[in-house]
Structure 1
Amino acid sequence: MIRYLLATTLALAGTLAISQGVGQTVVQTEHVRAEALVHAPEGIPPGRPVWVGLQLAHQPEWHTYWKNSGDSGLPTNITWELPEGVSAGEIAWPLPKKFPIGNLANYGYEGTVLLAVPLTVGPSFKPSPSGTLNLKFKASWLVCKKECIPEDGEFTLQVPTASATATHARLFKAALDLTPQVLPPGRISVDGSALRLELSGLPASLRGKQLEVFPETGEVIETAGAWTQGWRGDLWTAILPLSPQRGQSPAVIPIVVTSGGMGWRTEAPVVGGWATGAAAAAGGAASVTQSEAAVNTVGTSLAAALLGALIGGLILNLMPCVFPVLAIKVVGFAQHGSDRRARHLGGIAYTAGVVLSFLALGGLLLALRAAGEQLGWGFQLQSPWAVAGLASLFTLLGLNLTGMFEFGQFLPSSVATLQAKHPVADSFLSGVLAVAIASPCTAPFMGASLGLAVALPPAEAMLVFGVLGAGMALPYLAAAFVPGIARRIPRPGAWMETFKKLMAFPMFATAAWLVWVLGQQAGIDGAGALLALLVALSMVVWSFTLAGRSRIAVASVAVAVFIGLALVIGHSVTAVQAARGPETVSHWKSWDAGRISALVAEGRPVFVDFTAAWCVTCQYNKRTTLADESLLAEFAQKNITLMRADWTNRDPAITAALASLERNGVPVYVLYRNGHKPVVLSEILSVDEVRAAISNP
């Protein structure tokens, strides 16, 4: 599972490109020399494969990874930019080597390795004016010793189409000779907590010898676990322990077996299927605390996800980020008074606004993830544009509640009349607003449901999002239709005007919080620029409330000031800073997936706080439970490393880490220990819960 924590974390590592006359072919780093090679002995004949390779020469004791990196690491990846009519095949992976790390193991390469890729040139290909096939690709690799360093480089090649190219034939032949030969399909069956693998068709010279096994599918077999093997005639059998962190149940498992520098590959179907019920639950990716047991002990089923979404939506109404919107709804209820029809329509409209907004957010999230974006719940507040827009909206709402202006003053008469005839539009829009400000929060029971939703088929995932919205809207809908609840709503009166103005201050407080959030993303300059723009926006709104000739003059000046500020300092609002580390506190270190695996392998537990500045629950837990001096002392006493993963800005690596824990939003609190499944704690964290988790053996 740890290898997914490293997925997509490919920062620049100070690479230096060296030109050799045929494009940029070499990238030299402190630990690896990477070179692009080509094998085209006959030029570029149509329909014939052309081999291009990435040769990695490692410094002593450093290594990179195979297609399944094992318990940690990340496979080398190649991304192509090819001309029309040319397509790239898969990497022809040479046989890997196993690198034991305590009770873990990784698969990869040391020394020098050539990763060869076949290119197919079709009839639609047209050479460049200079008569060459121009190739460009970007490669990224993770190179490790005791520490791991992500590196990458861009390569270009210009291959003559009508004449032979320096072929490096010997290197490519050696690399392809190290790829596994194909065997007939093997057979795998599940035997309790182990897999039974049976292979036939292996060379007779191997009989009686010990073979090494490399599964191409990760997180299924315990890479460093004890396993047995034996021969019965030409049938080779191995009993492989299942990984305690098994996150997949594939129908077919590709397996590579090696002996004496030679290898064979088979695709073995799982005969009889996988275990279900308690056995399957035992192979889950994470342990959870009692607060979410109702979701997970049922297994990751749709029914459990729907139940968790409903309960989580209900609890979402109690989260502090939703309070400002609920204040608006209290005023709206009081305005309806004893008008039953108005209450019913308002309740239905508010529910529709909430549910449709959750469906829209969920649909957008699923669509972006399908397009390759690594996003999670609350992703919209990872955009400074969205944060600045919401801050402006809440500032306007606060000014409206103080009585500075009415929205009808700025609407055409036809629109204002329409609003008067259809006041339920206000209820619908307040439901939309409730979701906009509540979505960054993750209430108890929501985490597991959202994590499962993104892995479900689209129709079922959308159902989870819809039920989440229904749970959030349910209290208001019940108040609208149940007479006993409605009778407890205060009747209209003079108190409403005072209460309405009082509710402006939660709006301004929310705007202040959003300015702080933007400050975490764009720095102090961004926060200052947004504050200046909000002041100018308030001036513009005020200027339009004036009467007489002064209105035009003052409004013109106000609009000019706002536009001028937007042009001069507006860019600071959306200038996302580089990822930040945690606050300068000795207890916490910046999140590092590779460091986690190394520490755990050494027997040192790691506690990770997945957080974001826009997550109110995260900030509450950070300033209460996670700031408790006695708890911090206990962490130090037990030699537990504390890490903070900041998801304020988009970070695909953190998104992947959350997904590996079956979560899709923050807060998430995880305890990693050697030989144990990761322990995922509750969203609303308590000192006693953390103390119990770190005290268990």
Structure 2
Amino acid sequence: MTLSVPAHTQPSGLPESKMDRGTAQLAVEGSAVPGGTVMVALDFEPVEGWHGYWSNPGDAGQGIRLDWQLPQGWSAGEPQFPVPHTLLISGLMNHVFEGEHAVLVPIDVPEDAVAGRSYPIAVRGEWLTCSDTLCVPQWGTLRGEVRVSEQPQTSDPRFAGWRASIPPELDSPATFELTEKALRLAIPIPASMSLDTPHVFIENTGLVAYAEPQVFRRNGDLLTVDIPRKGDANPEEMTGILALGGDNGVRFEAERGDVPTGGTLIAGAEAPAGTPPIWTLLLGALAGGLILNIMPCVFPILSLKAISLARAGESEAQARREGIAYTAGVVLACVALGAVMLALRAAGEQVGWAFQLQNPAVVVVLLFLAVAITANFAGLFELPSISITRSGEPASAFATGLLAAFAATPCTGPFMAAALGAALLLPPAPALLLFAALGLGLALPFLLIGFIPRLRAMLPRPGAWMERFRRIMAIPMGLTALALVWLVARLGGQGFALMAMVVIIGLVLAFAVTGRLQRAGKMAWPAFALVLAPFALFGAFALPSAYAERATEAAQSILDPRPFSEAALADARASGQPVFLWFTADWCVTCKVNESVAIERETTKAAFEEAGVIAMVGDWTRPDPEITTFLNAQGAAGVPLYLWYEPGEAPEQLPQVLTPQMLEDRARR
């Protein structure tokens, strides 16, 4: 008997086999018939804590190499693998098998095989077995015997389980397309099929970045997948395994073809290839916090800080205490808001940064707080020992820090978007560290003044001017309260805002009575509670009943934009025209400034009409899971977000601060 491949020659000095990190055996399912096929298995069992590799091992490792030694006329088919698992070590993604696993290989038996005879088969195998810190090559020649008979028989019961672990192949081919940055796949999967934690293992090498996030969307009975590219491979066909969760999956073959855009995001989040290192994200969050000190949405809070900073020159020890207390308040508020957002997302809620301003109850509370601060600044009454503006105690600075962070963070600064977008993808500990860095950036100017005497010396000396300045600062705080009234109407309707105004009248009346009693040297706060009680009771019943779930339409625009949806965006892009998509919210002052400066302009409208640009807007004033999902997919944690789509190209993310000519230049280039 002759073999189709001569025996592998072993290099001098090496043993015939080396399997010190596990075992490997060749098993035969049963007998074969002439002209038929018999299934054999390579049964691997690495020692505990070690793993083997799929045919494409990923960023590191080595797939199994097989050199078959078969009788003349016999042939081995392609190996069939179970669904591999991902293993991320030091940023490298590996495709591995942990524990016992079997690779099945069909063996074709020729017509001239003699029934009643047994044929020896062998395979020389070389594979790699690794732990998390060490890799050891393994090799050996595995031998078996195939009995040929008139009727096929199964003799090894293990094959039933091994066959069940091999993912079935889809009946219909998948399609794929290659863009400059991504491999896009469309896999025919019924919409009713459950997808737990999907992941695509591409068998072709040198094509995708294995460790980058994969983005999955539903398009009816198609599952689309976007995987960042790595390498310059340009295949006409590809194969792979779609893991559905656990050990379940399906095999697919893909050919070049159209891959639809849009769809419902079900897993993953799009992010620029090559997520920045954590230190870069921390610096971005710190810079974003610093920028918040000059953003328009923070201006009312600057009045609180200005008065505190002016008073900080009284005592060096006091200035340091206030600096630390203020910083603690800001950082605690940012971390708390971040923790609540991450917890809600982990529970399945689609929320993003500034989610609190989408809640009418929270906005009403902020409105009452703004009215109280305005009344205090105007001298209508005095707060007790935790006075934000007068006492100079650490509790005052801490309360100011809490308020500053709560009101300031909705305006995502230009350097903050990448950091907060990454926070949605990071584990909880580094994500919360980013929120803390954001708070530190917001508090840093105040903290430096508290600890550097020379900076404090540059501030005006305390005096009567501080009282006048405090009263002047009541004006921006009053304007803030008016803006919150408008936002309450946008969120809950005019009736809801009217009921809130009734409560505000009671609140101001109670503050006025309190201040009069304070100036007379009498006990004041019981009177405050007595006056406010009937108005508070009225609000407790009237506000919920007056709230309208969908009270107002989106704000009008001279661009006549289409309302955003994934389907509407897909239709707009399919038209072959440029698309400008922007996301806004009524509570985002930065958004409104950009709209007045660059979007709501007659010259912008004319440029768009001339170039045939389709305008589309996503209004995130109220919670909208589809918008939240899309923002997350773009690596954005909040608004504003501006995207420009040229026909057939990936979207360009524009800066968060628009200049007057920016959109016109994009339309006319």
Q: Secondary structure at the match of 2:478?
A: helix
Asked if structure 2 preserves the Cα contact closer than 8 Å seen for 1:221 and 1:240, the reply is no
Q: How does 1:57-456 map to 2 (within 5 A)?
A: 115=192, 187-191=203-207, 218-220=225-227, 228=235, 238-239=237-238, 256-257=251-252, 285=270, 299-408=275-384, 423-456=393-426
The whole-number CA distance in structure 2 between the counterparts of 1:108 and 1:443 is 41
- Residue 606 of structure 2 corresponds to 633
1:559 has 2:554 as partner = no
Q: Give the superposition deviation at 1:478.
A: 1.3
Q: Give the superposition deviation at 1:187.
A: 3.4
The whole-number CA distance in structure 1 between the counterparts of 2:475 and 2:391 is 29
Asked if structure 2 preserves the Cα contact closer than 8 Å seen for 1:385 and 1:574, the reply is no
CA deviation digits over 1:556-594, x for unaligned, max 9?
884354045315531256443268434264532211221
One-letter amino acid matched to 1:597? A
Q: Which has the larger radius of gyration?
A: 2
CA deviation digits over 1:131-187, x for unaligned, max 9?
xxxxxxxxxxxxxxxxxxxxxxxxxxxxxxxxxxxxxxxxxxxxxxxxxxxxxx983
1:516 has 2:486 as partner = yes
One-letter amino acid matched to 2:597? T
The whole-number CA distance in structure 2 between the counterparts of 1:186 and 1:618 is 41
- Residue 591 of structure 2 corresponds to 618
Asked if structure 1 preserves the Cα contact closer than 8 Å seen for 2:582 and 2:617, the reply is yes
The change in CA–CA distance for 1:489 and 1:341 in structure 2 (over 3 A counts) is same
Q: Give the superposition deviation at 1:695.
A: 4.4
Asked if structure 1 preserves the Cα contact closer than 8 Å seen for 2:386 and 2:395, the reply is no
- Residue 668 of structure 1 corresponds to 641
Asked if structure 1 preserves the Cα contact closer than 8 Å seen for 2:169 and 2:252, the reply is no
Q: Secondary structure at the match of 1:361?
A: helix
Q: Secondary structure at the match of 1:257?
A: strand
1:457 has 2:434 as partner = no
The whole-number CA distance in structure 1 between the counterparts of 2:586 and 2:478 is 18
Asked if structure 2 preserves the Cα contact closer than 8 Å seen for 1:606 and 1:673, the reply is yes
Q: Give the superposition deviation at 1:471.
A: 0.8
Which sections of structure 2, spanning at least 5 residues, go unmatched?
1-167, 196-200, 212-220, 255-268
- Residue 688 of structure 1 corresponds to 661
The change in CA–CA distance for 1:318 and 1:555 in structure 2 (over 3 A counts) is closer
2:441 to 463, 471, 474: 471
CA deviation digits over 1:30-79, x for unaligned, max 9?
xxxxxxxxxxxxxxxxxxxxxxxxxxxxxxxxxxxxxxxxxxxxxxxxxx
The change in CA–CA distance for 1:93 and 1:338 in structure 2 (over 3 A counts) is farther
The whole-number CA distance in structure 2 between the counterparts of 1:456 and 1:692 is 36
One-letter amino acid matched to 2:366? L
CA deviation digits over 1:350-384, x for unaligned, max 9?
11111111111111111111111111010011100
Q: Give the superposition deviation at 1:617.
A: 0.3
The two structures have a TM-score, normalised by structure 1, of 0.59
Mean CA deviation greater in 326-335 or 347-356:
326-335
Asked if structure 1 preserves the Cα contact closer than 8 Å seen for 2:353 and 2:410, the reply is yes
Asked if structure 1 preserves the Cα contact closer than 8 Å seen for 2:558 and 2:600, the reply is no
Which sections of structure 1, spanning at least 5 residues, go unmatched?
1-91, 119-184, 196-213, 230-237, 242-247, 260-283, 288-295, 409-414
Q: Give the superposition deviation at 1:240.
A: 8.0
2:631 to 658, 662, 683: 658
Q: Give the superposition deviation at 1:638.
A: 1.1
Q: Give the superposition deviation at 1:551.
A: 8.4
One-letter amino acid matched to 1:326? L
The change in CA–CA distance for 1:456 and 1:404 in structure 2 (over 3 A counts) is same
Asked if structure 2 preserves the Cα contact closer than 8 Å seen for 1:529 and 1:572, the reply is no
Asked if structure 1 preserves the Cα contact closer than 8 Å seen for 2:329 and 2:402, the reply is yes
Q: Secondary structure at the match of 1:624?
A: helix
The change in CA–CA distance for 1:637 and 1:321 in structure 2 (over 3 A counts) is same
Q: How does 1:3-82 map to 2 (within 5 A)?
A: none
CA deviation digits over 1:274-294, x for unaligned, max 9?
xxxxxxxxxx9578xxxxxxx
CA deviation digits over 1:617-654, x for unaligned, max 9?
01111122111211221111111111110001111100
The whole-number CA distance in structure 2 between the counterparts of 1:557 and 1:431 is 30
- Residue 542 of structure 1 corresponds to 512
The change in CA–CA distance for 1:493 and 1:554 in structure 2 (over 3 A counts) is closer
Asked if structure 1 preserves the Cα contact closer than 8 Å seen for 2:185 and 2:224, the reply is no
- Residue 68 of structure 1 corresponds to none
The change in CA–CA distance for 1:421 and 1:675 in structure 2 (over 3 A counts) is closer
The change in CA–CA distance for 1:116 and 1:626 in structure 2 (over 3 A counts) is closer
- Residue 34 of structure 1 corresponds to none
One-letter amino acid matched to 2:291? I
Q: Give the superposition deviation at 1:337.
A: 2.7
1:529 has 2:499 as partner = yes
Q: Give the superposition deviation at 1:675.
A: 2.5
The change in CA–CA distance for 1:564 and 1:600 in structure 2 (over 3 A counts) is same
The change in CA–CA distance for 1:513 and 1:674 in structure 2 (over 3 A counts) is same
The change in CA–CA distance for 1:316 and 1:550 in structure 2 (over 3 A counts) is closer
CA deviation digits over 1:101-133, x for unaligned, max 9?
9x9985558xxx895789xxxxxxxxxxxxxxx
The two structures have a TM-score, normalised by structure 2, of 0.61
The whole-number CA distance in structure 1 between the counterparts of 2:344 and 2:477 is 31
Asked if structure 2 preserves the Cα contact closer than 8 Å seen for 1:609 and 1:668, the reply is yes
1:679 has 2:652 as partner = yes
Q: Secondary structure at the match of 1:677?
A: coil
The whole-number CA distance in structure 1 between the counterparts of 2:513 and 2:402 is 29
Q: Give the superposition deviation at 1:601.
A: 2.2
Asked if structure 2 preserves the Cα contact closer than 8 Å seen for 1:582 and 1:644, the reply is no
